[in-house]
Structure 1
């Protein structure tokens, strides 16, 4: 009987199945990596959006005054936390020893 006309052996069938399953596993792992990247990008977008809607206070130093910054201002990194809301930012601006950052202009639209 010619080679192409014979029925595959159980071993050949199982090796073919193994190859197919390995292919499927590579596809699933690739999709998982894509989804992990998407999740991380979404987490970063949410963190940026949160920071953009918040403010932060840079404490007074011996050679510099205390400053109010927008949450996404890169001149002062508060370590990923320490954000204040709009009401707290308005109170901070009313304090005589806290000044708005001249770069990010946190007072724009805040005092109205």
Structure 2
């Protein structure tokens, strides 16, 4: 305490330090929340992109290559191709459409 009965400089600085620590905790929590939201948005964007893309699974042994929808769960993470490339691929004799995800449905529509 100061002689005049007010708050001492030491107490003021302790109060300021407490408030700054509270602000820092709040800010760090908000950063964590925003990072989670950003990851969720990125995943949603990737899923949406996959839903409007296609991918080709290379042929295995004597089989044929297979065209899949981008979001088909039967294929490992492959690179995506666009609609025009998928239409061309579907017309190739050594590429067949996946019997599970039926990518040809979206390619023949519109």
Instruction: Please give the TM-score of this superposition, normalised by the length of structure 1.
Output: 0.88
Supply the distance in 2 between the matched residues of 1:64 and 1:58 (Cα, whole angstroms): 11
SS at 1:69 equivalent = strand
8 Å contact from structure 1 (residues 56, 78) kept in 2:
no
Structure 1 residue runs of 5 or longer lacking an equivalent are none
SS at 1:109 equivalent = helix
2:85 is aligned with 1:109: no
Question: May I ask how many residue pairs the two structures share in their alignment?
Answer: 106
Q: Determine the structure 2 residue equivalent to 1:98.
A: 95
1:76-95 pair list within 5 angstroms:
76-79=75-78, 82-95=79-92
Q: What's the Cα RMSD here?
A: 1.5
Supply the distance in 1 between the matched residues of 2:34 and 2:77 (Cα, whole angstroms): 30
1:1-112 pair list within 5 angstroms:
6-79=5-78, 82-112=79-109
Shift >4 Å, 4+ stretches: none
CA drift at 1:109? 2.9
Moved more, 92-101 or 61-70: 61-70
Structure 2 residue runs of 5 or longer lacking an equivalent are none
Instruction: Please give the TM-score of this superposition, normalised by the length of structure 2.
Output: 0.89
Supply the distance in 2 between the matched residues of 1:72 and 1:108 (Cα, whole angstroms): 14
